[in-house]
Amino acid sequence: MNKKWLSGPYLFWAISFIIIPLVMILYYGLTTKDGSITFENILQITTNTNVKALVLALLLSIVSTIICLILAYPLAMILNQLDVNQNSFIVLIFILPMWMNFLLRTLAWQTLLEKTGVINSVLTLLHLPTLNIINTPYAIVLGMVYNFLPFMVLPIYNILIKIDPNVINAAKDLGANSFLTFYKVILPLSWPGVISGITMVFVPSLTTFVISDLLGGSKILLIGNVIEQKFTQANNWNAGSGLSLVLMVFILLSMAILSKYDKDGEGLI
């Protein structure tokens, strides 16, 4: 059986375009412009601006992840109870918005959230207080939830549809009411999907620079913005790489947690 060799091109590709580039970040992050080893780039994280940016990014991404989880779990449960034949239809509903550009979709929230925007016009019409969250961290959280919600829904949904209905019947049969059935059986069994979802929402939220750019009025700096500016404006690749290495600590941490709970990656797609 020489089928193994079919993955040869991929092996070459993965080494060239996944592994070596990561080594490059490590190299740039640990050296100065003239090539000598330093920890200076990594220590840049301790400057006042950068600590603030990292803490704010952590805060906003954690809040977004929690909101996504709260919104997505009941949603996945409702979707699971729909007709099984609609499986691909459900996935499509979440994939379809991606055909309208990510930047435009996010920008559209500006139109919706503006002082005289659609949402506020409706609120005024109903004699309700207006919502003034554009260019605040709240708008950034909204943008994160909006963009990354599908990545929380789909993994949970994918796990829920695999649970044998008889396992849930068995819990009821043994005397569990709806709450206990959920808490003792459904929730623990769906854990891999939840962890996948958390990772898939937390990492892009933590590292985004686009959403904060578009909805934060370019006054709010997240760690992603800082890194992006180091590359595109300051042309300081070493500092940018050093900060990326700090970011990767958080990413690696969540990847490690994920691989512990979802060994087969069954919750990913």
Is 159:267 a contact under the CB 8 Å cutoff?
yes
Please report, for residues 20, 29, 41, 128, 234, the alpha-carbon distance to residue 36 in angstroms, rounded to integers and kept in the order given. 20, 11, 12, 61, 20
- Contact residue for other proteins among 200, 201, 215, 221 (CB under 8 A): 200
Name which of 55 and 122 has its Cβ closer to other proteins.
Answer: 122
Q: What is the CA radius of gyration of the chain?
A: 22
Cα 134 from Cα 219, distance rounded (Å): 12
Binders of other proteins in range 34-63 (CB under 8 A): none
Binding residues among 227-256 for other proteins as defined by CB under 8 A = 227-228, 231, 237, 240-241, 244, 247-248, 251, 254-255
259 binds other proteins (CB under 8 A): yes
Q: What are phi and psi of 213, to 5 degrees?
A: -60, -45
Q: How far is the CB of 129 from other proteins (least distance, A)?
A: 20
Nearer to other proteins, 7 or 47 (CB): 7
Strand partners, 37: 31
CB of 64 to other proteins, least distance (A): 14
Q: Pattern of binders to other proteins over 1-30, x per CB under 8 A?
A: x-xxxxxxxxx-xx-xxxxxxx-xx--x--
Name residues contacting other proteins, limited to 133-152 (CB under 8 A).
146, 149
Q: How far is CA 244 from the centre of its chain?
A: 17
Smaller CB distance to other proteins: residue 43 or 174? 174
Q: Which long-range contacts (CB under 8 A, 24 or more apart) does 163-168 make?
A: 163/189, 163/190
Which residues in the 149-168 window bind other proteins by CB under 8 A? 149, 164, 166-167
Q: Based on the shown chain and the rule CB under 8 A, indicate whether residue 127 belongs to the binding site for other proteins.
A: no
Is residue 219 within 8 Å of residue 135, measured between CB atoms?
yes
Q: In angstroms, give the least distance from the CB of 220 to other proteins.
A: 15
CA-based diameter of the chain, in Å?
Answer: 73
d(CA 267, CA 192) in angstroms, rounded, equals 7
130 binds other proteins (CB under 8 A): no
Residue 33 near other proteins by CB under 8 A: no
Check residue 215 for interaction with other proteins (CB under 8 A). Answer: no
Q: Is 96 in the site for other proteins (CB under 8 A)?
A: yes
Number of residues that bind other proteins (CB under 8 A): 104
Among 155, 193, 197, 224, interactor with other proteins by CB under 8 A: 224
User: Pick from 51, 122, 180, 234: which binds other proteins (CB under 8 A)?
Assistant: 180
